[in-house]
Chain A
Amino acid sequence: MLSHPVIKFLRRFYSGNMAAILGTLIVSTVIIMSAFASVIAENDPKKRVARGHQPPSAELLLGSTRSGKDVFSQVLHGGQVSLMVAFGAALITITIAICVGVSAGYFGGRVDEFLMSLTNIILVFPQLPLLIILAAFLGQVGPVVIALIIGLSSWAWGARVIRSQTLAVRNKEFILAAEVMGESKWRIILFEILPNLISIVVGMAMGTCIYALMAEAGLGFLGLGDSTIVTWGTMLFWAQSNSAFIVGAWWDMVVPGTAIAIFGGGLALLNMSVDQISNPKLKTGSYIKTWRRMKTEVEARRAQS
């Protein structure tokens, strides 16, 4: 069992890779805690349980908001929504990016030209301002719509990357061989091209997750989300509206912000370690220390003789 290729791959990936280990730990902890929010935090995040702006204490681990709601409970329950939005948006983005990128790369010609012109135009637009305007026009939108608009506006970059990767794979001989043998185009795409894209897609997924998380936070902060729903973004909004920092209730603002930073940071660490697998030149192995030590030894010997 220990020699199963997947296990072997995981062992190779994690050994000595502090970033990967730390990242995975953080990400899984946050996900698990949010998933079990109702179990861990007994207070209803929407109910008033104490006086406004109480500092963290034994009863209220992370204090209370302006309207007396439990911040600890809010951050856990809010995490559920924020994470769902992030994952959902990432899923939408990747799906569109793969469809567009692979089609453009594989079919080439006019399909490629059309898709790429479209992609390039979308790419040059600043994404967040676009999101802001969309959300503003749509009114107080709930998390589902937020996930949707994030997903629909951020696929362009991924599509370009996937397209170039597809192009690189497409011209490899085994694809040409498959075509000559008469394999159907769909089978080729699914079984020959897609497996080669996995490492890129994984990296993209994580990057988009981080971006979506921040976008949700940003939109929430600006008051564009449904402020009656508890998410990390709306927590920020309420904290800002209630001038949390100015009145000294720093926990109101710090908690959601830090939650986002921790999860985003964990994902970023994971992302970096995946990056280094695909481009080993960027990785710094332990051999460098050995090399430096040996170099000094050799030079000392040479100076003496």
Chain B
Amino acid sequence: MTGVREPLLSISDLCVDYITDDGNARAVNKVNLDIYPGETVGLAGESGCGKSTLAFAIANLHNAPALITGGKINFQGRDILTLSPEELRQFRWSKASMVFQSAMNSLNPVITIGDQLVDVVLAHETISVTEAEKRAIAMLDMVGIHASRIKSYPHQLSGGMRQRVVIAIALILRPKLIIMDEPTTALDVVVERDIMDQLYDLKEQLGFAILFISHDLGLMGQITDRIGIMYAGQMVELGETEGIIANPQHPYTQGLLSSFPTIHGPKERLEGIPGNPLNLLDVPAGCYFQDRCSQCDTICIDVMPNIEVLQVPDERQVACHKVSQGDAL
């Protein structure tokens, strides 16, 4: 039996609020998540559930009106939230980098992609410009882009190429963790497949962990080791991917999975999840999912369910009274 692995990233009781004139909306509500070296963890949920907010919090990127109001984010033992500005600057990108949703918008339109690769190297390592440029070219090669493109501007590249560039930039410092926020949402499925394949090759070579955020459960089912499902800022289910897809426990997860059609197999009726997303400025005392849950009970209305580890072999965690009570769902 191997020793207990140390998590690379350990988020405990994280709370992120949005301060507005109409009140404070808690977008991330006491979330706990550990990511181990080299694993791919997915984070799924509908729009507005807090997954992107969580991602931004990891690199402490939030500006007003968002504010991290509680919890710890331990990266290799150090709490990121207590870093000094200079330590934070050094931490960023070299230990954990990000791939944002829209590559076109995350690239600076007025400088070349070569410059955008080089400047991040120069900001973190004391090497010469020529050295940095060589690294840039090597990185572009790794993602399948020809070296001549180093002088191109973002608008001169296709959507798929831009996404590769952004991935190259994310990897150039060999970080231990890459956070990808809906990286393929804007691309068509063929390009998406290409990029994911490339990503997996790179992962084999370089050995980084990925936090993959998406609303596309189908895609995540294929590439992640573990998945966390978020609803209204809370983690409602967390466990190994295969287990969750085959045997979802939380009513919300079940609803999500039944909303996805399968290409193979018998035709089944699609069921959605009734109701609307929760208004974070007006939250109930009990479970946040109560208005839309088919299993809702009196205890669910009054008491907030905590996320608990189930007595099942795959270390599943679920935040639901009905499940904890042992009713098989």
CB <8 Å contact, B68 and A298: yes
A287 part of interface (Cβ distance < 8 Å): yes
Residues of B within 8 A of A288 (CB): 64-65
Residues of A within 8 A of B81 (CB): 302
Given A287-B65, A288-B64, residue A302 in contact with residue B19 (CB < 8 A): no
CB <8 Å contact, B64 and A302: no
CB <8 Å contact, B65 and A295: no
Q: State the CA gap A292–B64 with chains docked (Å).
A: 8
Question: Closest CB of chain A to B80's CB: distance in Å?
Answer: 11
Q: State the CA gap A15–B186 with chains docked (Å).
A: 40
User: Could you mark each residue 49-71 of chain B with 1 if its beta carbon is under 8 Å from any beta carbon of chain A, else 0?
Assistant: 00000000000000011011110
A290 part of interface (Cβ distance < 8 Å): yes
Residues of B within 8 A of A298 (CB): 67-70
B108 part of interface (Cβ distance < 8 Å): no
How many residues of A sit at the interface, in one of the four size bands?
A: 10 to 19
Count B interface residues, CB 8 Å: 12
Q: State the CA gap A287–B82 with chains docked (Å).
A: 24
Which residue of chain B lies nearest to A297 when distances are taken between CB atoms in the complex? B69
Q: State the CA gap A177–B68 with chains docked (Å).
A: 46
Residues of A within 8 A of B20 (CB): 285, 287
A-B pairs with beta carbons under 8 A, tally:
28
B21 part of interface (Cβ distance < 8 Å): yes
Which residue of chain A lies nearest to B64 when distances are taken between CB atoms in the complex? A291
User: Could you mark each residue 281-305 of chain A with 1 if its beta carbon is under 8 Å from any beta carbon of chain B, else 0?
Assistant: 0000111101110110010001100
When the two chains form the complex, which single residue of A295, A302, A303 contacts B67, counting CB atoms closer than 8 Å? Answer: A295
User: Could you mark each residue 208-230 of chain B with 1 if its beta carbon is under 8 Å from any beta carbon of chain A, else 0?
Assistant: 00000000000000000000000
Residues of B within 8 A of A295 (CB): 67
CB <8 Å contact, B64 and A294: no
Q: State the CA gap A292–B69 with chains docked (Å).
A: 12
User: Could you mark each residue 79-101 of chain B with 1 if its beta carbon is under 8 Å from any beta carbon of chain A, else 0?
Assistant: 00110000000000000000000
CB <8 Å contact, B65 and A291: yes
Residues of B within 8 A of A291 (CB): 19, 64-65, 67
Residues of A within 8 A of B17 (CB): 294
Q: State the CA gap A295–B67 with chains docked (Å).
A: 7
Question: Closest CB of chain B to A287's CB: distance in Å?
Answer: 5
Q: State the CA gap A295–B81 with chains docked (Å).
A: 12
Q: State the CA gap A295–B60 with chains docked (Å).
A: 13
Most B CB within 10 A of own CB, among A291, A294, A302, A303: A291
CB <8 Å contact, B19 and A290: yes
Q: Would you give 6 A-B contacts (Cβ < 8 Å), ordered by A? A: A286-B21, A287-B19, A287-B64, A294-B67, A302-B81, A302-B82
